[in-house]
Amino acid sequence: MKVLKFGGTSVGSVLSILNVKKIVEAIDEPVIIIVSALGGITDKLLAISALASKGNAGYEADLSEIVTRHLEVIEGVIPCVSLQNEVREGVMSLFDELGNILKGVFLINDLSSKTSDTIVSYGERISSLILSNVIKDARLFDSRKFIKTAKQFSKHIVDFELTNRLIRQAFTPLPRVSVVPGFISSSKENGEVTNLGRGGSDYTAAILATALDASTLEIWTDVDGFMTADPRVISSAYVIDRLTFTEAMELCNFGAKVIYPPTIYPVYHKNIPIRIRNTFNPCAPGTYISKERNDTGKSMIKGISSINDTCLITVQGLGMVGVIGINYRIFKTLAKNGISVFMVSQASSENNTTFAVCNADADLSVVVLNEEFALERAQGEISDIVAEKGLATVAIVGENMKRTPGIAGKLFGTLGRAGISVIACAQGASETNISFVINLKYLRKALNSIHDSFFLSEYKVLNLFIAGVGTVGGKLLEQIRIQQSTLMEQNALKLRVVGVANSKKALLSREGLNLDTCIRELKEEGDNSSPRHLCEEILKMNIFNSVFVDCTASAEIAGIYEELLKNNISVVAANKVAASSLYSNYVKLKETARQRDIKYLFETNVGAGLPIINTMNDLINSGDHILGLEAVLSGSLNFIFNTLSADIPFSRAIMMAKEARYAEPDPRIDLSGKDVIRKLVILAREAGYKVEQKDVKLNIFIPEKYFEGSLDDFWNNIKELDAEFEAMRKKVEAEKKRIRLVAKMEKGNCQVGLREVDRYHPFYELEGSNNIIMISTERYNDYPMIIKGYGAGDNVTAAGVFADIISIANIR
């Protein structure tokens, strides 16, 4: 025998009721069907009765709408006209009774709890009457005759001994199909109508399943089962196939509204499994709940649940320390006033106790506790009770967490990297639930971060904001687009570009942008923006696993790094401005990233895609010390000096470098040596030396006057140096040497200047726009480490930025 509960939208329309009929008639064993009110009528009846109690005649029109809807359903689900008329007559009789009760409420302007319980019972009674006439051979029962309650404070508690005996009597013999209205019951003392509270139809089903030793309890609803998290917040949430009773209870208590929490207690003691099914998707397997643990999952936790209606109440004072009975008085006072507490956290010093209640109970909690501890407050032993609103409670749940080291560490590490502060936390000795309270504005971010970190998501996700979508940024977007499917298939990594910006506009989308069209959409639909505005919008979005990617050369963009890092957003920069700025700023950015356990990466600041900075860091982290560096770091200048020939003068070589995009649009930036200085400063700092740009000795090879005036002036005047450089070229060619702009650092002393190198020198064979660096360390002293390759170009620079992004994704 099975017990099936159908509720809410499961019996809310003609289609859903016909689905119920099909599901039940396909079962070849006795079935008991528990029915909720049709389509959420209970809430509407409560609203109507409230109107009537205030003398508002509008309740009649609202009741008429409900009547009309039920009559339409009857016509849609019962094809036989004579049976339609019979059912319609029965339903209208019940609605007439209901109308008379509501009229009485309207006339006396009063609504007692007894009358309210009677009014809301009509929803289930009418729905079950309709459904019993839809399903073949179904017999209708009245649950008021066998589910008996006793009053305890303001609630009706089931008398299980009496109820179980009456259920067995009522269902002997057991019909093929039984239909029972859920939610409603009656008092064992006087037979008056009572109810089992919100979600009581689930509870009704569990009570009958336990009393009659059902093989299974099936809860048919409008979702496929328990989800790993709220799918409205986390799009990658998926159905959990198996849960233990304990796991299901923990998830229900913390906001997963799939089943009513007390439903689990009765069936747990008889080990009757529960299966959650979807009326609108009956082929889905749903979630199976039993005593058996399932250890085959890929994650230590089964799901994440949350309550966004949270207020923390704190009772504190030195007068609490060592005093027996303080907590007894706290919770006794709350219980007397009908206030439910769903989380408790206490300091081991005993000088404070913090607990969570819903916001609606917060003010009353403060009042009654201030009264209870009035004497202690007057004596200064206990402070005034404090309530903190605007919070959310999150719980991670899973029996596999038991005796597994590192779960709490991973949880709080994940929250820390996301920049989320935990206000209070609690974990029982059962180790199946870790609960914590955070600011409500961080709830979405927290849920996504945890879901991603504990591998409940199919993919690890990085959310990228890309500033600068011209040459390097455009290539980066193209590389991400091409590689996206491979990263998802092979690395379970999803790179989601949620923002792009240029110097004037920004385009942001939490769901992600289309990489094929986002640059065009930025130009056509982007909002006017500035670096400061962009920063504010990124922080406002508050997205988990965020990475800001700077493909500009803007000092203003570099100026927002610190604020982004302080808000736990990693930064990947092709922009050299920040890392080569004042040493104090460089240290501050690095230190902020370290403290926040996020990343500030700028590998492409030097050598484009060459692994120079990472290699230096690996050497230092392994205990080596960098003594000196010697490098050709300007791909554009190397291209210029390699291109010089009898046929190509100096001025023409500069133009060719610009056309090939090796040089900046304004080549004076490269020719001044300032770009190389910035690169050398970055390398020296990464090697462990405190160096400023002004400390670098520059042996300038182009007179200062050529850097003055406009860019057009430069192009007109630079030809004056063609003869001088041709003479230099002939000289070194005759001596079988070549010209290189060399950056050198020796124990913190830095200089940049032209040098003639012979054919035995490693710099001699440096082709095109390539870069090269020789690193001398204590280990690599006699034979320095050499890194050589493309040092300029949009594609290789974008690839280097891409590599930095991937390195962030691999942090777990």
Q: Supply 338's token pair.
A: 């009908």
CA-to-CA distance for 352 and 356, rounded, in angstroms?
Answer: 14
Q: Are strands 303-316 and 352-357 parallel, antiparallel or unpaired?
A: antiparallel
**How many Cβ atoms from other residues are within 10 Å of residue 71's Cβ?**
16
Phi, psi of 579 (to 5 degrees): -70, -20
Q: State the pairing for strand pair 570-573/626-632.
A: unpaired
Angle, CA of 404, 408 and 414, to the nearest 5°:
125
What are φ and ψ of residue 255, in 5° steps? Answer: 105, -10
Residue 629's closest CA among 579, 696, 576, 581?
696
Catalytic residue among 679, 697, 705, 731: 679
The burial class, CB within 10 Å (0-12 / 13-18 / 19+), for 92 is middle
In this structure, the number of other CB atoms found within 10 A of the CB of residue 409 comes to 9
**Contacts (Cβ under 8 Å, ≥6 apart) of 10:** 16, 19, 20, 36, 220, 221, 222, 279
- In single-letter form, the type of residue at position 46 comes to L
Closest C-alpha among 729, 725, 735, 727 to residue 760: 735
Contact 245, 259 (CB under 8 A): no
Quote the distance between the C-alpha of residue 113 and its chain's center. Answer: 42
In 480-625, which ranges are E strands?
Answer: 493-501, 505-508, 527-528, 546-550, 570-573, 600-601
CA dihedral (369, 374, 376, 380) positive or negative: positive
Angstrom distances, CA of residue 339 to CA of 149, 355, 361, 392, 395: 21, 11, 6, 18, 21
Burial of 636 (0-12, 13-18, 19+ CB in 10 A): buried
Residue carrying structure tokens 């919100």: 198
**3-state percent helix, strand, coil for the chain, nearest multiple of 5:** 45, 20, 35
Helix axes 160-170, 200-211, angle to 10 degrees: 70
Strands, DSSP E only, in 537-607?
Answer: 546-550, 570-573, 600-601
Q: How many CB atoms lie within 10 A of CB 363?
A: 12
| 3 state DSSP class of 698 | strand
Q: Which residue do the tokens 């670098």 mark? A: 696
Report the run of H or E that residue 269 belongs to, with start and end.
Answer: helix 264-269
Residue 283 exposed, middle or buried by CB count within 10 Å (0-12, 13-18, 19+): exposed
**Which has the closest alpha carbon to 640: 618, 610, 673?**
673
- 587: CB partners within 8 A, 6+ apart: none
674-686 vs 612-621: helix crossing angle, rounded to 10: 20
What is the 3-class SS of 50-71, one letter each residue?
Answer: HHHHCCCCCHHHHHHHHHHHHH
How far is the C-alpha of 351 from the C-alpha of 353, rounded, in Å? 7
* CB 629 within 8 Å of CB 745: yes
**Long-range contacts of the stretch 667-671 (C-beta < 8 A, 24+):** 667/636, 667/714, 668/706, 668/707, 668/711, 668/714, 670/634, 670/636, 670/637, 671/637, 671/702, 671/706, 671/707
736 has catalytic annotation: no
Q: Quick one: CA dihedral 787, 788, 791, 795, positive or negative?
A: negative
Catalytic positions, written as ranges: 679
